[in-house]
Amino acid sequence: MAELQEAHLRAVPFENLSIHARQPIVLDERQLFAKVVEHRRGGFCYELNGLFAHLLQEIGFRVTLIAAEVGKPDGTFGPAFDHLALAVELDDVFLVDVGFGDSFRRPLRLHDRGPQVQGLTAYRIHQEGEYYKLQQQNQHVPNAPGEIVYRFRRQAHKLAEFNDMCVYHQTSPESHFSQKRVCSRATADGRLTLRDRRLIVTRGRCGKKRRSTRKKPLPRPC
């Protein structure tokens, strides 16, 4: 499963281009398969984790779709169903996510309260009442505060329950997905990201991190 998650992140981009092309995103497994597999596209969390859950289920894994609330800089959280992630049961329960952009590349043990280090980042999962909180911290920045990525409960959901928020993120001017275009894919040692008309190349995932950005905008498409 760990190899599948990392391979997915390196092969399938996290992107919101359908939203800006006015192509409706429908949470139907056949349509998601056609877009991602047959047309070699990417998508955002509802599409990528929704389809990845179907893949894992088909090869025998026990998968639960979980609704997460994304953390904000002021310490509050987004609405329910703001993000779709997965819980997969093996010898332990693992948090799996191929739809959050630059995040953990291999599954995290849900009940491990210590740091789970991947590359430059230490991830921790805290439990507060019925909520689990995913925290990330840059290991190479002294005294860097941990950032809460999102929180979630273990309640199982169906893909259709995410429809309303999927529509919201496609249509609302307040959604960050409707404000800027992004297409991002993990590489062996970093990440390639196209944000609007700027290309960002990040290298050194397992060592010193360097980021280079094109000073000139990319040429306009014909």
Q: Which one of 45, 82, 166, 169 is the catalytic residue?
A: 45
- Is 97 an annotated catalytic residue? yes
Catalytic residue among 8, 20, 39, 97: 97
Confirm whether 222 is a catalytic residue. no
The tokens of 204 are what?
């050194």
First and final CA of the chain: distance in angstroms?
41
Lay out the sheet containing 83-89: strands in order across. Answer: 108-109, 93-96, 83-89, 62-70, 147-152, 131-138, 121-128, 116-118
Q: Which listed residue (8, 82, 83, 169) is catalytic?
A: 83
- Decide: 51 and 39 in contact? Cβ < 8 Å: no
Rg (C-alpha) for the chain, rounded Å, is 17
Distance (Å, whole) CA 120 – CA 103:
11
Q: How far apart are CA 163 and CA 179, in angstroms?
A: 20
Catalytic residues: 45, 83, 97
